A and B are shown apart, each in its own frame.
Chain A
Amino acid sequence: MAEAISVQRRDDAATTPGSGAAIELSGLWREFGERAVLRDVSVAVPPGSTLSVLGPNGAGKTTLLRILATLLRPTSGEVSVLGFGLPRDAWRVRGRVGYLAHEPLLYRDLTGAENLRFQARLHGLPGEGEERIAHLLDAVRMSRRANELVRNLSAGMVQRLAVCRALLHEPELLLLDEPTSHLDPEAAGIVEPLLGPETGRSRVVVTHDVDAALAQGDLVLALRAGGSVAYAGPASGLSAGDARAIYGGSP
């Protein structure tokens, strides 16, 4: 399929930190040992925009999110998040980014409320963020189950708590790795308003749902298996058929 999709670089985007883009990647490479997982990725995401990231398993989507979340260092290339260069200013980016990972990043032997209070303390929220925690638990309809150990909750409930954790410190940028994958349609409907474009936050959303990616993304970054860029540009510039071709026609 790759031949069918032209690689578009956002050459019009500024590449210097502080130019106003929420995210700027220029020539990003990430290798594990001798294996390249991301190859020469360049894209710029304006503030308030959504970047949809598509690609088959092994395309480096989660690696990209972890680099943006400051959890991994790029091997080479320039990465700017919210105007701060990574990895140099990683601590400035932390606290501004909400990362919803595959794993919920919650302790199973703490209750949901205890997990959120712990995160609130790490983020220096006043009064351990009690008001904010109560608001978020109410928003995801977990108030009544908040004092149960996480290990006793269903995967969907844990995912709703993970959404609270990611939003607790009111991040400017959301990094969402298949955010509704553990949720039934009703629960997905509950969390989508908290994570969706209507929040006004800049977003990077990893998904395998091609139609949703094209409908909700202002920009699309399509990665091939092996981490090379198949497409990077406006969502309107990529057809659903070409996007599906990245997966070898499967999704």
Chain B
Amino acid sequence: MSGATVEARRPSTFGALRAILAKDLRVELRTLQSVPAMALFALTTFVLFRYGLDRKTLSGGLAAGVLLATVLFAAILAINRLFVAERDEGGFDGIRLAPVDGSALLGAKAAALVIYLLLLEVIAVPAFGLFFLDTWGGVPALFGVLVLADLGLAATGVLISSIAANSRARDLLVPLVLLPLLVPVMIAAGGAAQQLLAAGGPSYDGVAKWLAVLTFYDLTFAAVGFAVYDYLLED
């Protein structure tokens, strides 16, 4: 086969990303290792908060805190598992032996994590509403906040997870390194969510500012990821 043919057939980064994402979703559908565990964790946590706080309704900052902390820790479960197959079954090598950009792996893993988080939230937010909310008026807008928070979680989580993948202390490393990096996401998402979950109905004061902060964070970490990812994959 001529070298020209090899280079001509090199898949686009987007094509490689779609292939890796499709593979990850197929494995998740077959094994159900991440999303069910995240959902079960979230539901259990809501029960604990319900009885731990001894409150039948939550609103404002407390409601936002309970929901976002639950989503964050559920995300850690998926982030820890993102690269398990790549590490244990030679996926890193298999992908790196193909003529594709490392950013395709980064993008695919981030997309998979966003999909897992969206699936989690489709289950967890209604459950949260049933457990704690008097009014559901702010819930549709809350999904917008959660999507931006998910993008931030994914952009940062994939980076840290891939760094930790080859470490023996990876289960410790991910939360220890990731949680401080996600403080801005939690502050911004919490700032927006507490308005949307305010007692008596949603308020939209200042929400746009927090969404702008979330968007800036997402873009920054996405850019950092694409800039450094090929180097992270090196030995």
Question: Do most interface residues of chain B lie in helix, strand or loop, or is the interface mixed?
Answer: helix
Question: Are A123 and B89 interface neighbours, CB within 8 A?
Answer: no
A92 CB contacts on chain B under 8 angstroms: 3, 6-7, 99
CA A70 – CA B95 in complex, angstroms? Answer: 12
Contact B6 A95 (CB under 8 A): yes
Q: Name the contact of A124 in the complex, choosing from B9, B90, B93 (C-beta under 8 A).
A: B9
The interface residues of chain A, by DSSP majority, are classed as loop
Q: Chain A residues near B42: list those with CB within 8 A.
A: none
Inter-chain contacts of B31 with A (CB < 8 A): 109
Total number of residue pairs linking A and B with CB closer than 8 Å: 100
Contact A71 to B96, CB < 8 A, known contacts A95-B10, A106-B89: yes
B119 nearest CB across to chain A (Å): 19
Q: Report the stretch among A97-105, A206-214, A241-249 that lies at the interface.
A: A97-105
- From A108, A122, A126, name the one whose CB has the most chain B CB atoms within 10 angstroms: A122
A97 and B97 within 8 A (CB):
yes
| Inter-chain contacts of A101 with B (CB < 8 A) | 90, 93
* Residue pair A71, B93 in contact (C-beta under 8 Å): yes
Chain B hits for A125, CB < 8 A:
9
Contact B26 A114 (CB under 8 A): yes
Complex formed: what's the CA distance from A48 to B18 in Å?
36
Contact indicator B94/A170 (Cβ below 8 Å): no
> Which listed residue (B19, B26, B30, B235) contacts A122, Cβ 8 A?
B19
A101-B90, A107-B27, A107-B89 known; A122+B3 contact, CB < 8 A: no
CB-based nearest A residue for B8 = A124
A96 CB-CB contact with B under 8 Å:
yes
Known contacts A106-B90, A118-B23; decide if A99 and B97 are in contact (CB<8 Å). Answer: yes
Is A121 part of the binding interface, using a Cβ–Cβ cutoff of 8 Å?
A: yes
Is there a chain B Cβ closer than 8 Å to A240's Cβ?
A: no
Indicate whether B160 reaches chain A with its CB closer than 8 angstroms.
no
Q: Which 4 A-B pairs have the closest CB atoms?
A: A122-B98, A105-B90, A121-B19, A124-B9
Name B residues whose Cβ lies closer than 8 Å to a Cβ of A: 1, 3, 6-7, 9-11, 15-16, 18-20, 23, 26-27, 30-31, 85, 89-91, 93-100, 234-235
